[in-house]
């Protein structure tokens, strides 16, 4: 009998040591870990599980179902559900989604691993939406090109009609080219690291170049005025900053009615920064849209604006470029009064 007691104490010591090791392991991983027995009594939890599931620290020795008020999760832990893994709404934060996986350690012990997959699901949704938007944006010009080509290969079509269609092909092809170029630029901005050494940029020159670039978008009654009162130079990447200038100015033109009055400026602020600003006096943007206008393909429906192209990626590109230059896009807008887009930089 003494030998049995010694063996029993030895087994208990080993078990305690294993539990200490297990508790240490569960505390250093970000996922929630709940160890339960076959009667669903909690044997151990880590801080992540307590946070994700709302478990109290003193839940050990008590029923899992007593604290977790999620019917689907309780059914899953009992082994009644065939879904693997299980996705369910967080009992702590209703706008969060959690994922649970159940592992049988031995005949007596189960381990429930819980992780927050809210961000992952959001990224997957964004990717699906992005693919759908790209497909939609390409479908229209491709349909136009296909229709023109079908007419052009028709031998019975008049020669002058074929020639006119060849000229018309330029617009949809240019649209697809612009979309692909913007997609490539956006991908580069997101994936390429910021170079440690940047060039000294004279913004007034980039603004002048952008002014010349957007002339084809201006109507006869439109007014585009440059008001540069600063000679400040900044550190940056010329091509990227040029895209900021062109995108903000062209957006102001596209989303203004005929007879637009647009002012572009490069000035010094009272805080010692250099500011690039584009002011229009057009349609303005409703408050509920302001937080989303830099999303890919997000467009504000403005019935009085002019449909003059654009890929829907311009402001997304601007946002990423400015991040790489330690700046951010700021917007002030009122419906029917116009919008002011501006960004501040540290001068050299």
Looking at residue 160, its pLDDT comes to 87
Q: Which of 66, 89, 116 is the last residue of a domain?
A: 116
DSSP-based three-state secondary structure for 182? helix
pLDDT tens across 192-240, in order? 888 878 999 999 999 999 999 999 888 888 899 999 989 999 999 999 9
Residue 101: name the closest of 54, 45, 52, 34 by CA.
34
Using DSSP's 3-state secondary structure scheme, residue 343 falls into strand
Where the chain has pLDDT below 50, the residues are 306
What DSSP state is assigned to residue 41?
Answer: B
Range of 308's domain? 194-345
pLDDT at 238: 95
CA distance 224 to 14: 80
Structure tokens at 261: 């009055």
pLDDT at residue 306 in the model: 45
Provide the number of structural domains found in the chain: 2
How far is the C-alpha of 322 from the C-alpha of 276, rounded, in Å? 11
Looking at 101, 116, 131, which one is the last position of a domain? 116
Specify if 20 maps to a domain. yes
Residue 204 in any domain: the answer is: yes
User: Is 0.75 surpassed by the pTM of this model?
Assistant: no
- Which tens digit of pLDDT belongs to each residue from 17-66? 666 666 655 666 789 999 999 899 998 888 899 999 998 888 888 999 88
The answer to whether position 125 is within a domain reads no
Do 224 and 339 share a domain, yes or no?
yes
Is 150 domain-assigned? no
**CATH code for the domain in which residue 221 is found:** 3.30.565.10
Q: For residues 343 and 322, is the Cβ–Cβ distance under 8 A? A: yes
Domain assignment present for residue 188? The answer is no
Q: What is the pLDDT of residue 27?
A: 63
Does residue 92 share a domain with residue 229? no
Distances (CA, A) of 292 to 100, 184, 295, 297: 32, 21, 6, 10
75: domain CATH number is 3.30.450.20
Q: What integer pLDDT is reported at residue 258 of this predicted model?
A: 85
Assigned token pair, 202? 């004279």
**154 lies in a domain?**
no
Are residue 338 and residue 200 in the same domain, yes or no? yes
CB 36 within 8 A of CB 77: yes
Calculate the alpha carbon distances from 253 to 66, 283, 326 in Å: 62, 11, 27
> What is the model's pLDDT at position 2?
59
pLDDT of residue 99: 95
Could you give the angle at which helices 314-324 and 238-254 cross, rounded to 10 degrees?
150
Q: Is 265 helix (H, G, I), strand (E, B) or coil?
A: strand
How far is the first Cα of the chain from the last one, in angstroms, to the nearest whole number?
Answer: 85
Per DSSP, 347 falls in state B
Asked whether residue 201 falls in the same domain as residue 99, the answer is no
In DSSP notation, 199-250 reads: EEEEHHHHHHHHHHHTGGG--TT-EEEEEE----EEEE-HHHHHHHHHHHHH
Q: Are 182 and 313 in contact (CB under 8 A)?
A: yes
């Amino acid at each position: 009998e003494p030998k049995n007691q010694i063996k029993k104490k030895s087994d208990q010591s080993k078990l305690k040591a294993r539990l200490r090791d297990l508790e240490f392991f569960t505390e250093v991983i970000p996922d929630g870990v709940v160890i339960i027995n076959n009667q669903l009594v909690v044997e151990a939890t880590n801080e992540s599980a307590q946070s994700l599931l709302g478990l109290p620290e003193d839940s050990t020795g008590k029923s899992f179902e007593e604290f977790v008020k999620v019917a689907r999760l309780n059914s899953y832990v009992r082994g009644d559900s065939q879904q693997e893994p299980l996705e369910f709404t967080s009992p702590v934060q209703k706008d969060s989604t959690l994922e649970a996986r159940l592992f049988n350690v031995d005949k007596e012990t189960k381990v429930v691993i819980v992780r927050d997959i809210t961000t992952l699901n959001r990224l997957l949704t964004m990717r699906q939406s992005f693919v759908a938007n790209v497909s939609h944006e390409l479908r229209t010009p491709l349909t136009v090109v296909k229709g023109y080509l079908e007419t052009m290969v028709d031998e019975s079509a008049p020669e002058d009609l074929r020639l006119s269609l060849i000229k018309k092909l330029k617009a949809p092809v240019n649209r697809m080219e612009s979309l692909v170029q913007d997609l490539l630029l956006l991908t580069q901005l997101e994936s390429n690291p910021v170079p440690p050494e940047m060039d000294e940029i004279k913004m007034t020159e980039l603004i002048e170049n952008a002014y010349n670039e957007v002339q084809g978008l201006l109507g006869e009654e439109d007014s585009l005025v440059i008001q540069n009162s600063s000679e400040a130079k900044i550190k940056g990447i010329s091509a990227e900053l040029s895209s900021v200038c062109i995108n903000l100015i062209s957006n102001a033109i596209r989303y203004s009615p005929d007879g637009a009055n647009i002012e572009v400026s490069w000035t010094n602020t009272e805080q010692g920064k250099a500011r690039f600003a584009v002011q229009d006096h057009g349609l303005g943007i409703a408050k509920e849209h302001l937080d989303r206008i830099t999303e890919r393909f997000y467009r504000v429906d403005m019935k009085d604006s002019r449909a003059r192209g654009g890929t829907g990626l311009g402001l997304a590109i601007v946002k990423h470029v400015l991040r790489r230059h330690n700046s951010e896009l700021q917007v002030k807008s009122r419906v029917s009064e116009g919008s002011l887009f501006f960004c501040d930089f540290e001068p050299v």
